[in-house]
Amino acid sequence: MNVNECHEQLVEYQNILAEKFKIEKDIEEKPKVVEARIETVKKLKKQCVDQMDRVKELEQKVFECQKEIMNLYDQQKGDDKAKVIKKDGEPDKERTVVSDKEAKYRQEIFKNQKIISELNQDIEKSQMSISELEREISVEQNRLDGELEKLKAEVVRLSEEEKKIIPDMDPTFKYKFERIVKNKEGLGIVTVTEGHCDGCYLVLPPEFVNKIRAGKEVQYCPNCSRILYWSENSQGIFSFDDSEDDDDYFDNDK
């Protein structure tokens, strides 16, 4: 393949590839914003479920404390009946113990009810955020679906164009070329100007420049790996006749 003869096609191919890669990157990146929001909703929902479980647990505790207080009352009623028969006049130690116990249960109920109320407020807030986020996600997802559809259609169109430009390109070269264009931000083929690579400005040895000029095989810049070609502007101090067989300055086994 003589790159010098077909560099225009390769540049055109490169431009299509660069556009295609940019779009493919967009297709990959664009859904990430929505995905992150979906993740946030998932976390909020999980948090709500945990908080609801905690509320249930605390409500059960409150219920048990209330039951204990009722038991205390029942117990006291029984004791009072017994005391009618007994003689009084002694300090009522039992009654003090009962009211201490009741106070503790009431304290426990108060504490738990306060936590329950705070948790319920949090749950309510989270549920509002979830609804709001879900609404936004739904709108965003619809917009994104439309956008992605257009981008995918554009990729198909570019791939068709690609085939027209390079209908019979060697698959190995095609693969390699695509990788160079991808890795070099859309610039995979460059010319040689006054003996240096136009991609990375490395000064190339004259023998190598002559090989590029001859165009018998594809030459890659030893520094930036871009494909090099010879154009009218390539003339300069380093152009020589390529009649003699040059030594391999670079180990180009491609």
Restricted to residues 168-197, the positions that interact with Zn ion (CB under 5 A) are 197
Query: Would you count residue 199 as binding Zn ion (CB under 5 A)?
Result: yes
Query: What are the phi and psi torsion angles at 202 (to 5°)?
Result: -70, 135
65 binds Zn ion (CB under 5 A): no
CB of 214 to Zn ion, least distance (A): 19
| Contacting range for Zn ion; rule: CB under 5 A; set: 13-21, 25-33, 60-68, 202-210 | 202-210
Which range, of 57-65, 122-130, 222-230, 242-250, touches Zn ion by CB under 5 A? Answer: 222-230
Closest CB 204 distance from Zn ion, rounded Å: 8
At its nearest, how many Å lie between Zn ion and the CB of residue 28? 28
Task: Please state the closest distance from residue 154 (CB atom) to Zn ion, in A.
Answer: 30
Is residue 108 packed enough to be buried (19+ CB in 10 Å), middle (13-18) or exposed (0-12)?
Answer: middle
Nearer to Zn ion, 41 or 200 (CB): 200
Q: How many Å apart are CA 42 and CA 132, to the nearest integer?
A: 13
Minimum Å gap between C-beta 179 and Zn ion is: 15
Confirm or reject binding of residue 223 to Zn ion (CB under 5 A).
Answer: yes
Site of interaction with Zn ion (CB under 5 A): 197, 199-200, 202, 221, 223-224
